[in-house]
């Protein structure tokens, strides 16, 4: 598997796993990755978006092999190292390989539980409406004071 495919599949499967777990967790009365605002102490995640999504850092520590062939299928290929690999697939047997370790982090906002997201959005709308009403009341009081 090449590195691009490995990273893509890993991130997609993490998001799908969280999404699928949300229904099962909700069925037993909990919430997996609830939407939250203003959370103090973010030790376990990197940051938050205004939408209530938390951004986690997905750590990758990958061993990759660069194989450079000589002959019929020459060229360099970057692959995530697996425990074993099978087959030569019609390429010549003369090949050089080097293995390297690559570490990197990918920020990722996981899917939030839809029920907690809906509740959070309703709270935000209510707060905005209350703030708008207070601002209108203050404008009326200021206007009355001027008269």
- At 33-52, the pLDDT tens digits run 888 776 655 666 778 788 88
Cβ contact 70:95 at 8 Å: yes
* Total tally of structural domains belonging to the chain: 1
pLDDT at 87 over 50: no
pLDDT at 71 over 80: no
- Structural domain for 58, as ranges: 3-146
Q: What local confidence, expressed as pLDDT, does residue 43 receive?
A: 64
Dmax (CA) for the chain in angstroms is 95
pLDDT at 94 over 70: no
How much is the pTM?
0.65
Q: Is 128 helix (H, G, I), strand (E, B) or coil?
A: helix
- Structure-token match 């409406």, residue found: 129
Q: Where does the pLDDT of residue 100 fall: very low under 50, low under 70, confident under 90, or very high at 90 and above?
A: confident
């Amino acid at each position: 598997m090449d590195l691009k495919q490995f990273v893509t599949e890993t991130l997609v499967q993490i998001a799908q796993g969280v999404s699928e777990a949300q229904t099962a967790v909700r069925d037993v009365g909990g919430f997996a990755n609830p939407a939250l605002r203003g959370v103090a102490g973010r030790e376990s995640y990197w940051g938050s978006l205004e939408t209530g999504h938390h951004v986690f850092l997905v750590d990758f520590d990958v061993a990759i092999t660069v194989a450079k062939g000589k002959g019929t299928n020459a060229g360099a290929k970057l692959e995530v190292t697996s425990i074993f690999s099978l087959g030569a697939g019609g390429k010549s047997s003369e090949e050089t390989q080097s293995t390297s370790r690559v570490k990197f982090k990918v920020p990722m906002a996981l899917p939030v539980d839809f029920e907690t997201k809906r509740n959070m959005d309703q709270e935000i709308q209510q707060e905005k409406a209350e703030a708008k009403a207070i601002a209108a009341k203050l404008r009326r009081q200021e206007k009355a004071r001027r008269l």
